[in-house]
Amino acid sequence: METHFEAININEASLPERTAKQISKLIMEQHLTSEDRLPSEFELAELLNVGRGTIREGVKLLVARNVLEVRRGKGTYITQNPGEIPDPLGFTYCPDQLRLAMDLLEIRAQMEPWVAKTAAERATEDNLKALRETCAMVEQDILNEQDHSQSDVRYHTAIATCTQNLVVPKLIPIITHAIKLFVSLTERRLKMETLVGHREILDAICSKDGERAANAMGQHIEYNRVMLEEYRREPPGGE
Amino acid sequence: METHFEAININEASLPERTAKQISKLIMEQHLTSEDRLPSEFELAELLNVGRGTIREGVKLLVARNVLEVRRGKGTYITQNPGEIPDPLGFTYCPDQLRLAMDLLEIRAQMEPWVAKTAAERATEDNLKALRETCAMVEQDILNEQDHSQSDVRYHTAIATCTQNLVVPKLIPIITHAIKLFVSLTERRLKMETLVGHREILDAICSKDGERAANAMGQHIEYNRVMLEEYRREPPGGE
């Protein structure tokens, strides 16, 4: 199918913006991937019939949006996940981070049991291998008393990958964004539960038991919610 | 609470990138909104102790990420929804748009009945007023034979706003992204169903009937899925 979504331009009028759009189109049409070097400024300028300065501005926009990356001494390349940026929903700018964490947990409670169930039903052997590995990474981080927020997000994303749905692995890192805040708020109390909870979810998915995976995930998130609720009522050291 | 998520830098090393981060921090700490003009290049250069050229580069990065916008003849302002960008998950770069649409529908089928139920339970009078208005906008677009994909996304986002959850209204435009493709694929056949389905969801939410809202939304999405499935089996005009 040839149809593509039309990207909505932030600033329809500007020349660098239109150039960025044309370069994006080129990337899509030629199916360029992270292995591919972008054609040179000179070639692009010829091809798109604009000046090299404009090409440079357009490229900068696409770098800022994580479509392109400059590899020192090697040239400009397509990124691994073009267009995906850290914190795409601007959570950094949300003034009430505790409420944000609660609202994210509400969504996780809705989504993730289904994700776990679907993962159990559809996971391939390769998926399960990756899942076991990320589960072990979280355990190692916790046992070494290291920050496990990143490996934790990776574990939940590995579960998402088992669903074979293209979008779920992109959504999970967004809604598990709060784990980082969460880990620092509730600290030690949750670590044991995380170890046990993650293991139980892993076992259920590996034995292809969808119901049990959904229940284990539901409990894991509910426990997190209760902990955060407690924190909200009585922050350590009083108000 | 003062804690903020640390934004992950795409390019930790570059000076413009660090400057962009510091400007972001300034925006957060001073709670600047879309009403506020960013301090001048000169002031920022003084404040952050870097050259004006670096400030300019940093500002460009934040414009590309939709945190700042340049209003002609007025200066640089904070955007309405800082950090939110069109197509944040890079769907534009997905080569198989039909599969993307199916996978998005799978997620919608999971999320949106719950969103509709929660909307019915928590909507304020103001929410309901806005919801009725967007519902009418879709109807008008359909009756005028105009493209209703944008107003359709707005209707589903208005339902999301009724949940009082901070994140749901940010997620819904992402997972309803496919509507645009969808409208063009299935054209006329869906229009009547959209009118009736949207009305039924609206009525259920306005009468605070959560179960009925969830069912109506579930049916609406299921109908969409069946249509897309049919399209996939037999694209008009053959393979």
Q: Using CB atoms within 10 Å of the CB of residue A71, give its burial: 0 to 12 exposed, 13 to 18 middle, 19+ buried.
A: exposed
Chain B residues touching A66 at Cβ < 8 A: 10
In sequence order, the 6+-apart residues with CB closer than 8 A to the CB of A213 are A113, A116, A117, A119, A120, A201, A204, A205
Q: Using CB atoms within 10 Å of the CB of residue B146, give its burial: 0 to 12 exposed, 13 to 18 middle, 19+ buried.
A: exposed
- Asked if B92 lies within 8 A of A4 by C-beta distance, the reply is yes
pLDDT of residue A117: 98
Best residue of B85, B153, B176, B177 to probe chain A, by most A CBs closer than 10 Å: B85
Would you give the DSSP letter of residue A138? H
Name the residue with higher pLDDT: B64 or B46. B46
* ipTM exceeding 0.90, yes/no: no
Q: Which of residues 198-237 of A touch B (CB under 8 A)?
A: none
Chain A residues touching B116 at Cβ < 8 A: none
* pLDDT digits 0-9 by tens, A153-202: 999 999 999 999 999 999 998 888 777 766 666 666 678 888 999 999 99
* pLDDT digits 0-9 by tens, A70-79: 888 888 998 8
